[in-house]
Structure 1
Amino acid sequence: MTRPDRPTIRDVAAAAGVSKGTVSFALNGRPGVSEDTRERILAAARDLGWTPSTKARALSVSRAFAVGLVLAREPELLGADPFFPAFIAGVERTLSDRGQALVLQVVPEAEEEAGYRRLADAGRVDGVFVLDLRVADPRIALLAELGMPAVTIARPDGPSPFPAVLVDDRPGIAAAVSHLAGLGHRHIAHVAGPAHFLHGSRRRRAFDDALDEAGLPPGPVVEADFSAAGGAAATREILAAGPTAIVYSNDLMAIAGLSVAVELGRAVPARLSVTGFDNTDLAGYVSPALTSVRTDPYLWGRKAAEALLELIDGGTVDDVPVPAAQLVIRASTAPPPPEVRTE
């Protein structure tokens, strides 16, 4: 009989110089394999064109070999906001190395619970990621009820049995306010994200706390929806309060705000300073280049996927630390106009 063209785990083991058992452990992300050996095995698998027989694996261990992500956002916003593609790319990078798949559902918020229940009832996924945490998020109790392994992006504001990627937005907002105060700004405003999102409310509180820490009076705040259109509308509203600087809750709104400010005769940064959040690729190419808070959603995606796969395999997973956000200073911030400066 002729040998099938499809390479096998035996072929990968021979190419990497290890046992079939070691190959199985490495390809399934199990502990007990050194990082150097794992990388050698993955490289051998790629070179041979080896791909897992997902159907056979699923039948042998009653696993879906897929994880889920349910997003209650408008599809148009998902395409416009660079955060989601970067996070998903990080997830996919880890999953592809482990022979796993991502099941993505974009649903109206009213159908979100049903989306999780469908995934669980059909056995389509082995675990899920929880993004866009809400204040008192009901999904935590739902997933615990369903017995679904999960990893949250940030720590919820209530009890949670699930590990979290420890994203903390507060130092980034505090750094933006401190930077503006150091330039001499005394009238700083904030275009916030939706208050029912935990990261929106936390950034809002961080803004208020940072003003207090700097000895500045409370600044005007307008809530928007993280979209460019929302940021533009909020900027028109907030400029009526006469701020010399605006701290935005994401880059998309900040870039839209830049255009509105120029349209209304508020040159940036001569008459108005602007900061964003996320430090997206576009931030460095708009004019003036946008001062923004650097985060790393690609890394968050990788770390979240690694933690979730370990949890699915029965491991004990602690919260996952990630580097703190950092302010990247560019040309969109400068001292306030001379006539409004105070000593």
Structure 2
Amino acid sequence: METPRRATIADIAARAGVSPGAVSFALNNRPGVSAATRARILEIAREMHWRPHSAARALGGARAGTVGFVLTRPARTLGTESFFGDLISGIQLGLTGSHVGMNLLVARDLEEELDTYQEWWNGHQVDGVVLIDPRTNDPRVDLLAKLGMPTVVIGSKPSPDGEAPTIWIDDRDAALTVYRYLHALGHRRIAHVAGRADFEHTGMRISALETFARTVGLDHAQSLTTDYSAAEGEHATRRLLSEPEPPTAIVYDNDVLAVAGLGVASEMGVPVPDRLSIISFDDSAMARLVRPSLTTLTRDTVELGERAARLLLDQIDAGKTLPSRRGPALTLSARDSTAPPPGG
């Protein structure tokens, strides 16, 4: 069976009754053709399933029509974290109507992520990227700035002037909201099962607990870092609940860790919330469906992704670095997993 031939600019020109140059102007959104002619050419291109050739596009200086998003997390854990599914849906929603697609890749480690950005930019495969989980002295930010690739960061604070803008949610303030709530319930022994130590938001949440503990005089406060997996969430919870004076409240960095911790509490005969209160920094259907349902911080993660995509498109169109923008607000959703401590 003969392979169907790929449509070319010449094919579109012949069908539209215009020159190949006019087709090129229309497809690359350049002046030189009327609005009616441009619309007719674009419609014919869609009917003929025409797609730009990346090498020719790069030589011509045209846009790739794609943005990139790399997730450097163990592939097995991504399926259990609803946050990423919602975020990807939001990015796609933000691209709706722009005729811009998304190139999604799951990287094994930081080195592969850095290599991907270099390959994408050298091959003119993307016009910009959304970056998640900013780190202290982040080599990804340095590389993307060196390449000159438009970038939007999803993070915990506004970027310094001149650097890639951030869609930000104040993780320090979010953490204090949780710690203050537990303190108001009467808890004086609070633990935090955190994510990766090198992530910016993890550091902010750990620092917020340390500062809060000193300010209000908690009897005990500690943070344990994990890789976000259920296995490490279970291990951290067993360690905390096996202490001579265990915490009366544990805050988890995501819903997977929190549900794993809830299972360990049941296994060890520690009733929730009668002897242990549990809170998650992430909300999800899973957090609402377990029993007892989990108290969480709730954000519109779909909107977070949508705002990031729109800021990236605005930055690509502007051809310059734009200011950071605030992300959607957080609210505390108090459910059945929190209560005053025993004797409180």
* Aligned equivalents of 1:158, 1:195: Cα separation in 2: 22
1:210-221 matches, within 5 Å, as 210-221=212-223
1:144 equivalenced with 2:149 (yes/no): no
Q: 1:318 — aligned with what?
A: 323
Against the structure 1 CA distance between its residues 265 and 163, is the aligned structure 2 distance closer, same or farther, given a 3 Å change threshold?
A: same
Against the structure 1 CA distance between its residues 226 and 128, is the aligned structure 2 distance closer, same or farther, given a 3 Å change threshold?
A: same
Shift of 1:147: 1.0
Q: Could you give the per-residue CA deviations for residues 200-232 of structure 1, whole angstroms, max 9, x where no partner exists?
A: 111111222233333314412211111222211
Against the structure 1 CA distance between its residues 52 and 86, is the aligned structure 2 distance closer, same or farther, given a 3 Å change threshold?
A: farther
Against the structure 1 CA distance between its residues 51 and 169, is the aligned structure 2 distance closer, same or farther, given a 3 Å change threshold?
A: farther
Equivalent AA in structure 1 for residue 334 of structure 2: I
Against the structure 1 CA distance between its residues 77 and 158, is the aligned structure 2 distance closer, same or farther, given a 3 Å change threshold?
A: farther
Q: Which of residues 189, 192, 197 in structure 2 aligns to 1:187?
A: 189
Q: 2:88 — aligned with what?
A: 88
Against the structure 1 CA distance between its residues 180 and 314, is the aligned structure 2 distance closer, same or farther, given a 3 Å change threshold?
A: same
Against the structure 1 CA distance between its residues 214 and 141, is the aligned structure 2 distance closer, same or farther, given a 3 Å change threshold?
A: same
1:120 equivalenced with 2:121 (yes/no): yes
1:224-239 matches, within 5 Å, as 224-239=226-241
Q: Could you give the per-residue CA deviations for residues 17-73 of structure 1, whole angstroms, max 9, x where no partner exists?
A: xx948x98xxxxxxxxxxxxxxxxxxxx9xxx9999653999576111000012221
* Aligned equivalents of 1:282, 1:289: Cα separation in 2: 9
CA root-mean-square deviation: 2.6
> Does the CA-based 8 Å contact 2:67-2:128 persist in structure 1?
yes
Shift of 1:172: 2.1
1:295-314 matches, within 5 Å, as 295-314=299-318
Q: 1:335 — aligned with what?
A: 340
Question: Among the aligned pairs, what percent are the same residue?
Answer: 40
Q: 2:286 — aligned with what?
A: 282
1:74 equivalenced with 2:78 (yes/no): no
Q: 1:132 — aligned with what?
A: 133
* Aligned equivalents of 1:226, 1:244: Cα separation in 2: 22
Shift of 1:157: 7.7
* Aligned equivalents of 1:157, 1:303: Cα separation in 2: 16
Against the structure 1 CA distance between its residues 135 and 50, is the aligned structure 2 distance closer, same or farther, given a 3 Å change threshold?
A: farther
Q: 2:9 — aligned with what?
A: none
* Aligned equivalents of 1:51, 1:174: Cα separation in 2: 56
Alignment size in residue pairs? 299
* Aligned equivalents of 2:257, 2:116: Cα separation in 1: 29
Q: Could you give the per-residue CA deviations for residues 71-126 of structure 1, whole angstroms, max 9, x where no partner exists?
A: 22111112111111111100111223211111112112232211110111111000
> Does the CA-based 8 Å contact 1:235-1:260 persist in structure 2?
yes
Tell me the secondary structure at the aligned position of residue 334 of structure 1.
Answer: coil
> Does the CA-based 8 Å contact 1:193-1:226 persist in structure 2?
yes
Q: 1:205 — aligned with what?
A: 207
Q: 1:104 — aligned with what?
A: 104
Equivalent AA in structure 2 for residue 65 of structure 1: G
Gap regions ≥5 residues in structure 1: 5-18, 25-44
Tell me the secondary structure at the aligned position of residue 97 of structure 1.
Answer: coil
TM-score (ref. length: structure 2): 0.80
Equivalent AA in structure 1 for residue 133 of structure 2: D
Q: Could you give the per-residue CA deviations for residues 154-184 of structure 1, whole angstroms, max 9, x where no partner exists?
A: 2478776111102222222211111111111
TM-score (ref. length: structure 1): 0.80
> Does the CA-based 8 Å contact 1:248-1:254 persist in structure 2?
yes
Equivalent AA in structure 1 for residue 324 of structure 2: D
> Does the CA-based 8 Å contact 1:136-1:157 persist in structure 2?
no
Against the structure 1 CA distance between its residues 123 and 332, is the aligned structure 2 distance closer, same or farther, given a 3 Å change threshold?
A: same
Q: 1:9 — aligned with what?
A: none
Gap regions ≥5 residues in structure 2: 1-14, 17-33
* Aligned equivalents of 1:207, 1:250: Cα separation in 2: 16
> Does the CA-based 8 Å contact 1:169-1:199 persist in structure 2?
yes
* Aligned equivalents of 1:51, 1:105: Cα separation in 2: 28
Against the structure 1 CA distance between its residues 53 and 209, is the aligned structure 2 distance closer, same or farther, given a 3 Å change threshold?
A: farther
Q: Could you give the per-residue CA deviations for residues 115-149 of structure 1, whole angstroms, max 9, x where no partner exists?
A: 11011111100001111111111111100111101
* Aligned equivalents of 1:326, 1:106: Cα separation in 2: 30
